[in-house]
Structure 1
Amino acid sequence: MNKEDIAIQFELLLKEYSVARYEDSIWAFPDYPHHIKSNYGWKIHISAILTNAIQIARKFLTLNQKYHFDFKIISSIPYLEQMNMGYFGNSQVGKFITIYPDQSAVTETLELIYYYFHDDVGIRVGSDISYKQGLNVYYRYGTLLDDVENIDKRDKKLKPSSNVEKIYDYRLERYNSLPARYLILKAIKQNGPSGVLLALDLQTKLKVIIRYADKYYNIESAGIDERDRLISASSLLEKDFVRNSSFFETVVDAFYVNDAFFVVT
């Protein structure tokens, strides 16, 4: 399919789902009213490239028939090309679809979007954080309605206010190699890109157990892999009702090293 055909198919797809361009904007919106109430909050971006824009848009718009998200989507393929090349500013690159989730269910929405889109290819959204180091699901805290305090510079420096939902993924550090504070003593178990290590924490002088898993190891047909399961277990151990139980281990640290996830107990 050539570029002109993709553009026509995309235009027809938006019409099919009653999504229309808003006045002189580059964005298209659904035909129902938004319910955004706050000026600031979490928002989610789904990235796309020219060759998969129709696939991603159709998948999202079909999903939206059930969930009725507050969202906007780029209104044409030429605009998508220009956006991904930085014509509308570097802060807009990659923002094919913007979702304004219910601020009381942000993690739930992120998990849903990640489940459906994490293996799709997208261009990096430089102003956002990649959810679980995925390929095209991003999120950030920023302007939802108006930047009344003039503080949203789209550079990841705007910190969430204290009254918004805490996202486990948000607090995790991203590294290119294992932090120097951990000295590996031995491998207790190794299964390809997953395993359990015994290490010495050089800061606390205590021995720790490090579990790790990379993407795609032991993957299910639904796309859930060993890394997803380890992240879920780690976030569960963060819950108050678990931390207060002596039956469970305590998470000392958790972080990403490239695409792999590590949890220290």
Structure 2
Amino acid sequence: MSLTYTYRNIEYLPPITFGFKIHVSATFQNYEYVLEIVKPYLEEKKIAYKFINNREDVYKAFSVHELAGECGKLITIYPSSLILMDTLEDLYQLLKNLDGIYILSDRPYKDSSLVFYRFGLFQDSKDIFQNGVPTVVSLDGEEWQDYPKTYFDLPSWVADIQPAQEENKESYLGDTYEVISVLHQSGGGNIYLAQDKKFGVPTVLKEARPNILSFYDIEKKELREKEYELALELQSRGVERLITPIEKVDEWINTYYIYHYVQGESLTDFCKKYGINSYSREHKQKNLNLFREFIGLINLLVNTLSYFHRAGLVLNDIHPDNFVVGTDGQLHFIDLENSYLYGDKSFTGITSKISLKRWNFLDGKQADYHKLGNMLLFLLARLSISEESQVEPSILDKMLKSYGIESNLLDFITYLLSEEVDLTGITTRLDSLYAKSISTNEAMPTLSQPSKKDTSFVQRVEYMCSSFEKYKVYVSDGKNLSVRSEDGIMRLMNSEQNLGINGLSGVVVLLHSKGYHTLALYGLEMVLNRLEETEDGLQVQIEGGFYSPYVFNGLSGVIQMLYYVDKEKYRGLILELRKSLYSEFSQYEDYAKGSLGVADTLLLTANYRKNKRLERCVKSLILNSFIYHQERKKPLDELSYVLSHYHKVYSC
């Protein structure tokens, strides 16, 4: 997560690459008081440090939105080894009896709740990064890498500054449950798949860490507790198709809520085979069959929601990740943190792609119906209406027709999103849902608006690559670089997280265009080393463990960079990489982060070798983008540019 830090006393930063740094945490209630105590001390002692000052950034750093191992880091202190222990002891005394977030990547000093330390990077250089990760190597060649961790870790050759911790051998959780895997990671506490050691049944352990926020005034632990109490109440009423509570356990500083595991597949994963991403304009009957199966799923969703409403439960947080299609064929709802009993007041409002902010003020059942309509859009075509745009149902309707399907699903979803929606109207319209095959016109669009004068590839990269701004202090056309400038550029490239045109690939292109070929090659090799091997070929991983095919931050950007630097040398690699781009559907329609950029990249590779699959994918991506552009009334410049490229390639 990107946070803004204030740096102080940097002139006193120890001249070392790695060492022990100190972290001071706090709670959202006492962080200002902690800063008032710690900052004057560090100023007086002339110790280098950085801290978060902006309240919004403090909230982010103390919330479920931050990585688990990074949560709680309010102040980072860089003492020299000579004053390390004295600094820790002074802070320990100054902050006694204050509460703070436990920092998972660190070890607490003595029994402090908010003074921690860890071994890590102090100052970077071009030589300490391996595949973008700071790395220290021992004299024996052993490597240790400083990446975000949820546990305290030291290089084997570095001694801890405190005696070894005594392990608590008594653990009710450890004696009762065997953890099998992590189902979900969160700063507020992970969710684990486990097994009851005595009975052998699968269970879920929902962990709650103290002082981690879900909202400005609500901790994640409060939501976990509320969920458990609601689950007990619903269990006593005999309500099924929900998570079933087993017990609550306090262990260490955390609370664990244990439930029976619902075996099955998340609705998100289950629907992937029925969504438009699985359609092809060459196989109309298959598309129709998949869509009719999706209509069957709509019936199941409506029946499940009406069952919960009859039981007096408002689901509230309707999202496909919160449903499981069980092995029993039923839909189960597995996240009650934001749910509530009808007639009660919602504990908190929610806002997401599925749940609009204004729906928090509606009757709970009506809001659930609206969210169901939005979820259907999302499941079928990764669409959702927002506060700014309401045209998504119409986009879906036109998309379906372009794949050879006529249906009244548009009317059904429009009704779900209307103020008049009720269960009777839903049931009536559900019974009349239909789908039939129609013929389609697959001619490429003819645009009356001509494309603007073409800009060069380098000019487009200059416009798109905002990351290059920080390199300008080192480079200028036609001038030799000093060793210090080269080192600075290499350090910046090592720290780039984005591999696309907005990041490292764009930097490589611009360095190459300015004649710094050696540095460009250095960055290019770094990009290639950081590609991820997957079942679908080499991919570009982005935040959250996802993979991006796009120009801005993904594989299309990498391919365009390779083609520009040396299209003949990298011919084989480019043809291999393009296999991962073969898709007829993209969630977005634009060039930088959508289907047009992917289509343009595939067209670039057609200069090597054409095939029917490539043309089919390109045509489908352009046609889909055209529908989006029409309905959203977006400028046609980018579409016109890619369409012109298509005609150049396929008129030869």
* TM-score w.r.t. length of structure 1: 0.52
Please state how far the C-alpha of 1:103 moved relative to its aligned partner.
Answer: 1.3
Identify the match of residue 67 of structure 2 among 86, 89, 105: 89
- Residue matched to 2:111: 133
Alignment check: 8 A CA contact 1:41 1:160 kept: no
Aligned partner letter, 1:99: I
Alignment check: 8 A CA contact 1:47 1:96 kept: yes
Q: Distance in 2 between matches of 1:35 and 1:92?
A: 22
Q: Distance in 2 between matches of 1:64 and 1:31?
A: 9
Alignment check: 8 A CA contact 2:10 2:49 kept: no
Classify 1:51/1:40 alpha carbon distance in 2 versus 1 (closer, same or farther; 3 Å): same
Alignment check: 8 A CA contact 1:86 1:92 kept: no
- Residue matched to 1:240: none
Alignment of 1:112-191 (within 5 A): 112-146=90-124, 147-149=134-136, 151-153=145-147, 154=149, 155-159=151-155, 161-162=157-158, 167-169=161-163, 171-175=164-168
Alignment check: 8 A CA contact 1:94 1:123 kept: yes
Alignment of 1:32-111 (within 5 A): 33-111=11-89
Aligned partner letter, 1:167: I
Aligned partner letter, 2:36: R
Please state how far the C-alpha of 1:98 moved relative to its aligned partner.
Answer: 0.8
Unpaired segments of 5 or more residues in structure 2? 125-133, 137-143, 171-251, 254-652
Classify 1:75/1:141 alpha carbon distance in 2 versus 1 (closer, same or farther; 3 Å): same
Q: Distance in 1 between matches of 2:9 and 2:122?
A: 19
Which structure shows the higher helix fraction?
A: 2
Which structure shows the higher strand fraction?
A: 1
Classify 1:132/1:31 alpha carbon distance in 2 versus 1 (closer, same or farther; 3 Å): closer
The Cα offsets for residues 38-91 of structure 1, whole Å up to 9 and x where unpaired, read as 221101111111211111101111212321111110131111111111423222
Alignment of 1:218-237 (within 5 A): none
Q: Distance in 2 between matches of 1:175 and 1:105?
A: 31
Alignment check: 8 A CA contact 2:119 2:153 kept: no
Please state how far the C-alpha of 1:32 moved relative to its aligned partner.
Answer: 5.0
Alignment check: 8 A CA contact 1:73 1:96 kept: yes
Classify 1:31/1:109 alpha carbon distance in 2 versus 1 (closer, same or farther; 3 Å): closer
Aligned partner letter, 2:43: Q
Q: Distance in 2 between matches of 1:88 and 1:28?
A: 19
Q: How many residues align?
A: 154
Alignment of 1:12-27 (within 5 A): 26-27=4-5
Please state how far the C-alpha of 1:129 moved relative to its aligned partner.
Answer: 0.7
Q: Distance in 2 between matches of 1:32 and 1:143?
A: 15
The Cα offsets for residues 156-191 of structure 1, whole Å up to 9 and x where unpaired, read as 2333644x7x5134x2324265xxxxxxxxxxxxxx
Runs of 4+ in 1 over 3 A off after TM superposition: none
Please state how far the C-alpha of 1:145 moved relative to its aligned partner.
Answer: 2.0
Aligned partner letter, 2:161: I
Q: RMSD of the alignment, in Å?
A: 2.6
Identical residues among aligned pairs (%): 23
The Cα offsets for residues 205-228 of structure 1, whole Å up to 9 and x where unpaired, read as xxxxxxxxxxxxxxxxxxxxxxxx
Q: Distance in 2 between matches of 1:114 and 1:31?
A: 21
Alignment check: 8 A CA contact 1:39 1:148 kept: no
Alignment check: 8 A CA contact 2:6 2:51 kept: yes
Classify 1:95/1:121 alpha carbon distance in 2 versus 1 (closer, same or farther; 3 Å): same
Classify 1:160/1:81 alpha carbon distance in 2 versus 1 (closer, same or farther; 3 Å): farther
Aligned partner letter, 1:110: L
Alignment of 1:240-251 (within 5 A): none
Classify 1:68/1:176 alpha carbon distance in 2 versus 1 (closer, same or farther; 3 Å): farther
* TM-score w.r.t. length of structure 2: 0.22
Q: Distance in 1 between matches of 2:46 and 2:16?
A: 18
